[in-house]
Every structure is written in C-alpha cells, then in structure tokens.
Amino acid sequence: MSDQAARLRGIVDAGGGTEIALQPIVLPPSVPIGAVSYGPPPPRRRSGRRTTLKRVQLARAIAVSSGKGGVGKTNLAVNLAVAMSRFGLKVCLLDADLGLANADVLCNVTPRLNLEHVVTGRCRLAELMVLGPGGFRLLPGASGVAGMANLDTRRRHLLVEQLAALERTVDIILIDCGAGINSNVSAFAAAAHTVLVVTTPEPTSMTDGYAMIKTLLRQSPRAQVQVVVNMAATLEEARQVFGRLDRVSRTFLRRPLEWGGAIPSDPLVAEAVRQRVPFTLYAPDGWATAAIHRISRRLMGLDEGLPEETGRREGFFSRLASWLGASKTGTHYPSSA
C-alpha cells in the first residue's frame, strides 16, 4: 500500500490568483454574552413543590493544532482568545504544549507558576491562572521541561482532575496543543469539540498537517476537524491548499474536511510578535485581524446560515479522561467523540 503522504506531495503545485482584500469586521451592536459566569453556582429554582438546580452549559473546547512547528499555531490561539473575549465570552486559553509552551511570551506576561507546578502538587489551579491581554484567562504551560512533554497516565489524570472545574466557569476553552502527533497532543485534540488544524501553503506543512489529521481521525473518527490556512498570499491559494487536503482526506480517510478560514500574510503580524503584543490588539484594522474576527464569528455561529447548538454539550474533560483511559488499554477513543 503506497504512502498517502507521498501521494499528497505529488499533487502539491503552486497557487495563484488575485490578492486578498479583507476589510475590518464591524461587530454587531449587541453580541451574545457568556451564559456561564465566574461567580458561584446558580441558585436553586423552585418548581411547584420540587427544588431543581439549573443546569450549567459546559464550556466549548476548541483545540488548535498543527503537524509541524512554525506555522503560527500559538499566534492563532492567542488572537482567537482576544477576539472571542471582545465578543463578550469568558475565554480561557490552556497552553497544552506541555514541554515547549510559549503563549505567555506572545502575551508579554511572565508567570511565576505553570502547569508543572499543578501536576506536581505545588500549587492550585486558581493560583496559576493569569489575565491575558484583551481580557482572557491564560493557563501557562511549562517550557523546557522534558518530563511535562511525556506525562505518564497518572500525572495526565491528575492534570485533568485539576482542570475539570474550569469548564463550568468559562464559555470557551481554547487549547494550544503542541505540534506533531505525540500522545499529549492526540489526547487534547481528540477530546475537543472542534479541532483547528493549522497549515501553510508550504508542501512540508501540508504533508505534516495531513499526517496530523490522519492520526486524529483514526483515534477519534467523528472529530470535527477544520483546516485553517495561515500565511496565504491570496485567498485563492488558501482555498487550493484546503482543496488538496480535503481531496486526499476524502480519498484515503473517507472523511471530508471543514473549511476553517484563511489568514493572509501580513507584515504587521511579525511586528506584533516582536513587540510581544497580540496582533489583533497591535493592528486592529489589519488584514490578519479581520481574518481572525471572521474565524471567530464562524466558530461562535454568528455568521448567517449557521445553526445554533442545541442540547447539552458533553464535557471536554470527561471526554479527555475517557480518552486517556482508552489509550491506557490500547483502544481507540469512544466513537461518540
């Protein structure tokens, strides 16, 4: 059986088209605010003689992943957190690149504590969370700690237990996964409600992105995977990149992919990174900022024609715990994911 990645390399060719002319998005006068607060649990309501407890909608988990580093994955996660916070949602960004975390660098914050201290029992989650630029909460990961990149099952479950209360106090949990397909990345991505796989028009990025998608769909066949093409020269080029990945996925994995959006090449992004400021705040009228707002609107279902979520959402951390338990026994993640 031939290598699927090799076949993908064979269909990669140069893109072209007209330049993107994105306009800054004007937010609607009223946007939906978060249904979950940082306050105490909701009060009990009386219904006749019975006392009922109002159900809390658990946070939606969105994982941001990539097949290789250097494609702008963390930059996307940080700026999505800023954009969604400005829509009125309570957002927490979990830096789950456990061994090489750097979201705090882009946010220009220097946390005293990180997830390593939580896993080793040296601090509580409440002591770890810091306020990020734009109003979101950041849970910094560890950088340069080899042991965090390869947590054993016991420590991973301990981390999940510490984080479980988080999804009842925020609306959105953004998970900045590490690059590649190690066990930690697979666990966080497979348990998320939506997975954004970030790629660029470069052939190596596309092949590694496809490898990430293939691994994820094998472990979680019903995962909702969206492809975001970063650093695209034109919108047509971004669409062509998505089309190639979608065709290969349909052919070999029997699964169509979802279009997550495109972020154009923008020199203001590099300037913002050097200044350690999210580019949505550094250049609010920039092309890349407009693209981030479009992606945020699509993820939140604010674009016309997108159905609203109905029913009770399954908790991210219960899904993650199930996946970890399944991986320990060598089985796949439950098919309901």
Domain 57-328 architecture: 3-Layer(aba) Sandwich (3.40)
Per-residue pLDDT of 293-311, as tens digits, reads 999 999 988 765 444 444 4
Q: Which pLDDT score is estimated for 17?
A: 37
104 or 34, greater pLDDT: 104
Distance of alpha carbon 337 from alpha carbon 331, whole angstroms: 14
Q: Which pLDDT score is estimated for 242?
A: 98
- Does an H or E element contain 259, and which? strand 258-264
Determine whether 270 is exposed, middle or buried from the number of CB atoms within 10 Å of its CB (0-12, 13-18, 19+): exposed
221 or 321, greater pLDDT: 221
Would you give the distance in Å from CA 169 to the centre of its chain?
18
Ranked by mean pLDDT, the top range of 158-167, 257-266, 315-324 is: 257-266
* Predicted structure pTM score: 0.77
Per-residue pLDDT of 108-141, as tens digits, reads 998 888 888 887 778 877 788 899 999 999 998 8
225 or 157, greater pLDDT: 225
Token reading at 318 = 């219960």
Determine whether 39 is exposed, middle or buried from the number of CB atoms within 10 Å of its CB (0-12, 13-18, 19+): exposed
Distance of alpha carbon 35 from alpha carbon 42, whole angstroms: 11
Q: What percent of the chain has pLDDT over 90?
A: 44
Q: Which residues contact 13 (CB under 8 A, 6 or more apart)?
A: none
Residue 273 pLDDT more than 50?
yes
Taking residue 330's Cβ as centre, other Cβ atoms within 10 Å add up to 6
Q: Which pLDDT score is estimated for 259?
A: 97
Q: Where are the domains of the chain?
A: 57-328
Q: Which pLDDT score is estimated for 102?
A: 86
